[in-house]
Structure 1
Amino acid sequence: MDKRAQILLKTLVEHYISDGQPVGSRTLSKCSGLDLSPATIRNVMSDLEELGFIISPHTSAGRIPTQRGYRFFVDTLLTVQPLHQQQIERLEFELSSPDPQELITNAAGMLSNLTQFAGIVMVPKRKTVSFRHLEFLPLSEKRILVIIVTSDGNVQNRIIITEKSYSASELTQASNYFNQHYAGNTFEQVKQRLHDELKQMQADMTRLMGAAMEASSKALDDDKDAVVIAGERNLLQVDELSTNVGSLRKLFEVFERRTSLMQLLDNSQRAEGIQIFIGGESGYLPLDECSMVTATYETNGQTVGTLGVIGPTRMAYERVIPIVDMTAKLLSNALSKN
C-alpha cells in the first residue's frame, strides 16, 4: 500500500470511529490533507475495497473499515495518545490499596470507567499452598460444613452431602485425625496419602475424608483463574451491539461463563506488551463487532495475570491502548509493594 492510500485509509478509519457513519470521498478530500481530485480518491477507495480493507454498505455510497482494515490501521497507522496527568493520578489513587483483591477489583472498574466499555482483570493464579487446618461441623442429617484454612491464611467454607449421618463426636474425631496427620501438606500430597492410607480406615470415615478433599480442591479451583469484570452494561449503549439482541445475548453468555475469557487472557499472558484482538481474531469472542485490548501485569518482575478492555471494533484504539498499558503498569507497581 503506497503512502497516499495509507493516509486515506487512516482518515477513513478515524472518521468512522469518531461518528459511526460511512465515509464518502468528499469527506476524505476535505480531511486527508491530500491534494487529490474526487476521481482519484474514488479510484484509491476502489483499490482498498478490492484488497479487503474497506467495504461499501448497501445503504450508503460511503465506506467503512473491515476487520482487515482495522488490523492494518492498528498495526501500522495508529498514533497513540498519551494519558493526561489527571488520568494517571486518578489511576494511581484507585490503585493504592494494600489489599490485592481490592486492587484487582479497582483496576477492572477503572478500565471500565475510563473507556466506557467492559473492563476485565484475570486474578493471579494461586501459588501451591498447604493446608493448615480443617474442621467438620454438622448442619443437618446428611449435610456437613467443611471449614478449610490454608497456610496463607485463606479460609474457605464448603458444604458436603454425605450418604449417611455422622454424629458430632465422629466429626470431631475425623477433624482431629485429619489435622494431626495431614497438616502442612499440600492438597495434592494429602490426596495421595489419603489414597494410600484410607484403605486401612473404616469405610464410612473413608467416604467422609474423600468428600472433604473433593470440597477442598473445589474451594481452590473456584478461586483459580477467576476473572473480575466491570462495566459490561456499558456495551448496551454501543449502537453496533445494542441493535442486535442475539449478538448481545452471546456476548453476555461469555461474560457469564467466563471460560472463554479465561482462556483468552491466559493466552495473552504468554506474550509481552499490548495485545489487540479485533473481531473474531481471538477465536473466543463470539462477535465480529467486538475487539479486546489486553496487557500483562506483574508482581516483583514475574507476570501473574492479564487485564484488558472489551468494546466495539469501532473503538478509539489510540485512547484505549494507553489506558490499558498504564493500568497494567500501575497495578504491577501496587502489587509489588504489597
Structure 2
Amino acid sequence: MSTPPIAELTDRAREIFRLVVEGYLDRGQPVGSKTLASDSTVNLSPASIRAVLSDLEAHGLLSAPHTSAGRMPTESGLRLFVDGMMRVSEPNAEERAAIEGRLSDSGPIEQALEQTSAILSDISGAAGMVLVPTREAKLAQFSLVNLGQGRVLAVLVSEDGSIENRVIELGGSLAPSVLEQASNYITARLAGRTLAEANAAIGAEIKSGKSQLDSASRNLVERGLAVLSEDAAQRPVLIVRGQANLLDDAAMQDIERVRSLIEDLESKQSVAELLESAREAEATRIFIGSENRLFALSGSSVIASPYRDREGRVVGVLGVIGPTRLNYARVIPMIDLTARSLGKLIG
C-alpha cells in the first residue's frame, strides 16, 4: 500500500492525523476518538472522528494496537509527518546558553566529545551518540624518555596541544644518544604530518636506505610510532551515553524491542556505519524504524547530523537513538545546535 502525499489528504484528515501523531509523540500512548473530540480545535463528533481515523488507517498512516481502541502512527505515517507537517521548535536563549556552556567548560576535546554525547542524551530522553573526528591531528613534537629497566616512554605532542604517551618495553637498555637521535629524527622530518603520514614516510625512507639512523635508533623509531598507531586504531570510534533512558515504563511493555535495541547499540561498528552515511548530508538525517535494516527488529529511530571544524570541514557525526516516538520537533533543532557548538571547539 502506497502512502498518499500530504496534498491528497483533506484538511480535516490532516488535522486529525497531526493531533494523533503529536499526542502519541508527547505521551507515548495511542490516541482515541474521545481524546480527539475533547480538543477545542476539532469540531467533529466522535463518530465522524472514528470515520476519519479508519480512512487514515486504510491509507497505512495509522494503526490500532490490539490492546487499545486508540490509534498510533505507523512508520510511514511518522515519515509523512516529519517530512511534511512537523512544526519545529527552535531552542530558546536559555537552552542555547546551557548547551554552549556545558561544552565550553568540558576541557580537552576528548572530554568535549563525551560531554556532547551526554548532552544529546539529556535533551532527547534517549541515547546520545558521537562519532569521533576522523581527521588526525598533525604532529608537532615527538620525544623518547628513558624510564630505566628496559622501558622507554614515547611522547607525542600534536599541533592542537593534545598529548599522547605510551610505554615501550625494550627488554634492554639504550644509550641516551640513541633516544636523542630517534626523537630529533621524527620531530625534524615529520612535524606537520599526521601519525599515519609519519609512519608511511619513515617506512619509505628506511626501506629505500636513505635514512641516516643507525640500527638501534631505527628500531626505536619504528616501535615508537607503531605503538601509538596501534593504540589509535583500536580506540572505539563511537561514544554512546544514556542507554538507561531507553528503559522507561513504555519501553518495558515491549521488552523484546528494547532488548533488540540494546543489542544494536552493543554492535558499535554497525551503528557507526549508519552514522557515517549521514556524513555528507547537508542537513540532519532521520532514520525511522525499518527504513534502515539495522533497526528493522527494534523499531528505533536515529536522528543524525554531521559536525564541522572551524574551517567548515565535516569531521564527525553526532545524534540520538531511541524509540520512534521521539519528540522530533524539539530534538532535531537541538541536535543541530549541539553540532554547531561542538564544531566551534574543533580546530
What TM-score, normalized by structure 2, do the two folds share? Answer: 0.78
Structure 2: distance between partners of 1:220 and 1:176: 24
Structure 1 residues 295 and 181, CA gap change in structure 2 (3 angstroms):
same
**Counterpart code for 1:11:** L
Aligned residue pairs total 328
| Aligned equivalent of 2:37 | 29
CA contact 2:154–2:168 (8 Å) conserved in 1: no
Is 1:232 the equivalent of 2:243?
yes
Q: For 1:55-66, what aligned pairs fall within 5 Å after superposition?
A: 55-66=63-74
CA contact 2:261–2:300 (8 Å) conserved in 1: no
CA contact 1:138–1:168 (8 Å) conserved in 2: no
Cα distance, 1:25 vs. partner? Answer: 2.6
| Aligned counterpart in structure 2 of residue 101 of structure 1, from 93, 100, 110 | 110
Cα distance, 1:134 vs. partner? Answer: 4.8
Q: For 1:1-338, what aligned pairs fall within 5 Å after superposition?
A: 1-2=8-9, 3-31=11-39, 33-97=41-105, 99-127=108-136, 129-130=138-139, 132-135=141-144, 147-152=154-159, 153-158=161-166, 166-169=171-174, 175-176=179-180, 178-183=182-187, 184-185=189-190, 186-197=198-209, 211-222=223-234, 226-237=237-248, 239-240=250-251, 242-285=252-295, 287-302=297-312, 303-332=314-343, 334-335=344-345
Q: Secondary structure, in 3 states, of the residue corresponding to 1:168?
A: coil
Structure 1: distance between partners of 2:149 and 2:255: 45
CA contact 1:198–1:206 (8 Å) conserved in 2: no
After superposition, the C-alpha distances for 1:109-133 in whole angstroms (9 at most, x for unaligned) are: 2222233222222222233534732
Q: Secondary structure, in 3 states, of the residue corresponding to 1:294?
A: strand
CA contact 2:260–2:298 (8 Å) conserved in 1: no
Cα distance, 1:221 vs. partner? Answer: 2.5
Structure 2: distance between partners of 1:72 and 1:314: 14
Percent identity among equivalent residues? 31
Structure 1 residues 28 and 321, CA gap change in structure 2 (3 angstroms):
same
Cα distance, 1:237 vs. partner? Answer: 2.1
Segment drifting more, 32-41 vs 131-140 = 131-140
Q: Secondary structure, in 3 states, of the residue corresponding to 1:327?
A: helix
**Counterpart code for 1:297:** Y
**Counterpart code for 1:167:** G
Structure 1 residues 322 and 180, CA gap change in structure 2 (3 angstroms):
closer
Cα distance, 1:201 vs. partner? Answer: 9.7
CA contact 1:11–1:32 (8 Å) conserved in 2: no
CA contact 2:289–2:298 (8 Å) conserved in 1: yes
**Counterpart code for 2:164:** Q
What TM-score, normalized by structure 1, do the two folds share? Answer: 0.80
Structure 2: distance between partners of 1:135 and 1:149: 9
Q: Secondary structure, in 3 states, of the residue corresponding to 1:335?
A: coil
Cα distance, 1:23 vs. partner? Answer: 2.1
Structure 2: distance between partners of 1:123 and 1:115: 20
| Aligned equivalent of 2:5 | none
Q: Secondary structure, in 3 states, of the residue corresponding to 2:319?
A: strand
| Aligned equivalent of 2:193 | none
Structure 1 residues 199 and 122, CA gap change in structure 2 (3 angstroms):
same
Structure 1 residues 101 and 44, CA gap change in structure 2 (3 angstroms):
same
**Counterpart code for 2:201:** Q
Q: Secondary structure, in 3 states, of the residue corresponding to 1:272?
A: coil
**Counterpart code for 1:25:** S
Cα distance, 1:169 vs. partner? Answer: 2.4
Cα distance, 1:291 vs. partner? Answer: 1.4
After superposition, the C-alpha distances for 1:248-281 in whole angstroms (9 at most, x for unaligned) are: 4443344444222322222212102222111132
Backbone CA RMSD of aligned residues: 3.5
CA contact 1:117–1:234 (8 Å) conserved in 2: yes
In structure 2, runs of 5+ residues without a counterpart are 1-7, 191-197
